[in-house]
């Protein structure tokens, strides 16, 4: 499981069947909220540029680095997903990931706010999925 400071945040339902990470208290900018972890693995990049995640849920893999042939990342251990593993994407985030591992408050965060980071900031191979970003469907951005 990820290392999460549960004095700062809690996981809660978002109301649409998905979970999110929410501030329990005021979190000052630059506070470290937790570290992502998992089993280090590498995944082959095909000639078409697509990554073979070998059946893993690609949305849960923290990309650390990539070269022409492989994406290197961390895969959460089965049944061991908790805390900041549930953080959602936003193109207008209030957190950022440092070093591929640490979740840090990018600005002051108020109690009850949902935490987000921009998945594009760490993904070496974008998933080409559409982001909701609180926009009308026609304006959804691609991550």
Interface residue list for Zn ion (CB under 5 A): 91, 131, 133, 141
Supply the minimum distance, in Å, between the C-beta of residue 129 and Zn ion.
10
Describe the chain by its helix, strand, coil percentages, rounded to 5.
10, 40, 55
Supply the minimum distance, in Å, between the C-beta of residue 130 and Zn ion.
8
Supply the minimum distance, in Å, between the C-beta of residue 55 and Zn ion.
27
Nearest to Zn ion of 110, 134 (CB atom): 134
Nearest to Zn ion of 10, 141 (CB atom): 141
Nearest to Zn ion of 101, 131 (CB atom): 131
E strand spans, the chain: 3-4, 9-13, 19-23, 32-35, 39-44, 62-66, 70-75, 88-89, 95-98, 102-105, 116-117, 130-131, 141-142
Supply the minimum distance, in Å, between the C-beta of residue 133 and Zn ion.
3
Nearest to Zn ion of 3, 133 (CB atom): 133
For β-strands 116-117 and 88-89, DSSP reports them as parallel
E strand spans, 18-134: 19-23, 32-35, 39-44, 62-66, 70-75, 88-89, 95-98, 102-105, 116-117, 130-131
Nearest to Zn ion of 29, 141 (CB atom): 141
Supply the minimum distance, in Å, between the C-beta of residue 136 and Zn ion.
12
């Amino acid at each position: 499981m990820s290392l999460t400071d549960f004095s700062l945040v809690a996981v809660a339902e978002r109301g649409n069947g998905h979970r999110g990470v929410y501030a329990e208290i005021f979190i000052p900018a630059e506070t470290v909220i937790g570290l992502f972890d998992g089993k280090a693995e590498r995944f082959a990049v095909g000639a078409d540029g697509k990554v073979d995640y070998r059946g893993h849920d690609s949305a849960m893999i923290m990309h650390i680095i990539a070269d022409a042939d492989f994406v290197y990342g961390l895969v959460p251990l089965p049944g061991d997903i908790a805390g900041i593993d549930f953080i959602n994407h936003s193109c207008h985030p209030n957190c950022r990931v440092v070093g591929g591992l640490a979740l840090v408050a990018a600005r002051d965060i108020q109690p009850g706010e949902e935490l987000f980071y921009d998945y594009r900031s760490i993904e070496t191979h974008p998933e080409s999925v559409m982001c909701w970003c609180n926009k009308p469907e026609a304006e959804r951005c691609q991550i």
